Structure 1
Amino acid sequence: MSRQRYALYYAPAVDSALWRFGSAALGYDALTGEDIPFAVPAGCDGSEWPALTDEPRRYGFHATLKAPFELADGRSEDQLRAFARNYAAGLDGVTLSGLSVTALGSFIALTPSEPSEDLQRFAFALVQAFEPFRAPLAEADRARRLKSPLTPAQRAYLEAYGYPYVGDAFRFHMTLTGSLPAERVGPIRQSLEAAYAAAVPPGTVALDRFALFRQDGREARFRLLDSYQLG
Structure 2
Amino acid sequence: MRYAICFTPPMADPLSATAASWLGRNVYSGEPAELPSVAGLSTADIAYHTAVPRRFGFHAVMMSPFRLHSERTEAQLLKALMHFAGAQTPFEVDRLEVARIGRSWGLVPQVPSAAMHLLAANVVQEFDAFRAPLSEDEIERSDPDRLTAPQFSNLYRWGDPHVMDEYRFHMMLTGPLANDALRQVEAPLRELFDPCLARPISIGSLALFVEQETGAPMRVHSQHPLGKISTNSRLERAKRAVVDPSIGSGAMRPLPLIVAALMAQR
Return the alpha-carbon distance in structure 2 between the equivalents of residues 226 and 35 of structure 1.
19
Structure number with greater CO (CA < 8 Å, separation at least 6) is: 1
- Pair member with larger Rg: 2
Aligned to 1:223: 219
Q: Quote the RMSD (CA, aligned, Å).
A: 1.2
1:87 has 2:84 as partner: yes
Return the alpha-carbon distance in structure 2 between the equivalents of residues 138 and 39 of structure 1.
40
Return the alpha-carbon distance in structure 2 between the equivalents of residues 148 and 51 of structure 1.
29
Return the alpha-carbon distance in structure 2 between the equivalents of residues 56 and 142 of structure 1.
21
Instruction: Work out which of the residue numbers 110, 123, 142 in structure 2 matches 1:145.
Output: 142
Return the alpha-carbon distance in structure 2 between the equivalents of residues 164 and 8 of structure 1.
16
1:102 has 2:115 as partner: no
Which amino acid letter does the alignment assign opposite residue 36 of structure 2?
A: A
Q: State the secondary structure of the residue aligned to 1:178.
A: coil
The percent identity for this pair of structures is: 30
1:210 has 2:206 as partner: yes
Structure with the larger strand share: 1
Aligned to 1:41: 38
Instruction: Work out which of the residue numbers 120, 128, 135 in structure 1 matches 2:132.
Output: 135
Superposition misfits of 4+ residues, deviation over 3 angstroms: none
1:123 has 2:124 as partner: no
How far did residue 98 of structure 1 move?
0.6
- 1:24-78 per-position Cα deviation (integer Å, ceiling 9, x unaligned): 1100012111111012432112222211111111111101110000000111111
- 1:161-201 per-position Cα deviation (integer Å, ceiling 9, x unaligned): 11000011111111111111112213312220111123x15
The answer (yes or no) to whether the contact 1:40–1:49 under 8 Å persists in 2 is no
The answer (yes or no) to whether the contact 2:87–2:226 under 8 Å persists in 1 is yes
1:51 has 2:48 as partner: yes
Which amino acid letter does the alignment assign opposite residue 221 of structure 2?
A: L
Structure 1 residues not aligned, in runs of 5+: none
Structure with the larger helix share: 2
1:74 has 2:71 as partner: yes
Return the alpha-carbon distance in structure 2 between the equivalents of residues 143 and 89 of structure 1.
36
Q: State the secondary structure of the residue aligned to 2:42.
A: coil
Return the alpha-carbon distance in structure 1 between the equivalents of residues 77 and 93 of structure 2.
27
How far did residue 147 of structure 1 move?
5.0
The answer (yes or no) to whether the contact 1:209–1:228 under 8 Å persists in 2 is yes
Return the alpha-carbon distance in structure 2 between the equivalents of residues 115 and 68 of structure 1.
24
How far did residue 23 of structure 1 move?
1.2
The answer (yes or no) to whether the contact 1:88–1:209 under 8 Å persists in 2 is yes
The normalised TM-score by structure 2 is: 0.83
Return the alpha-carbon distance in structure 2 between the equivalents of residues 125 and 93 of structure 1.
14
Query: How many residue pairs align between the two structures?
Result: 227
Aligned to 2:22: 25
Return the alpha-carbon distance in structure 2 between the equivalents of residues 141 and 42 of structure 1.
40
Q: State the secondary structure of the residue aligned to 2:105.
A: strand
- 1:86-138 per-position Cα deviation (integer Å, ceiling 9, x unaligned): 11000012311110000111110000111111211111111110101000011
Instruction: Work out which of the residue numbers 168, 181, 198 in structure 1 matches 2:165.
Output: 168
Return the alpha-carbon distance in structure 2 between the equivalents of residues 67 and 116 of structure 1.
19
The normalised TM-score by structure 1 is: 0.95
Return the alpha-carbon distance in structure 1 between the equivalents of residues 193 and 180 of structure 2.
21
Which amino acid letter does the alignment assign opposite residue 11 of structure 1?
A: T
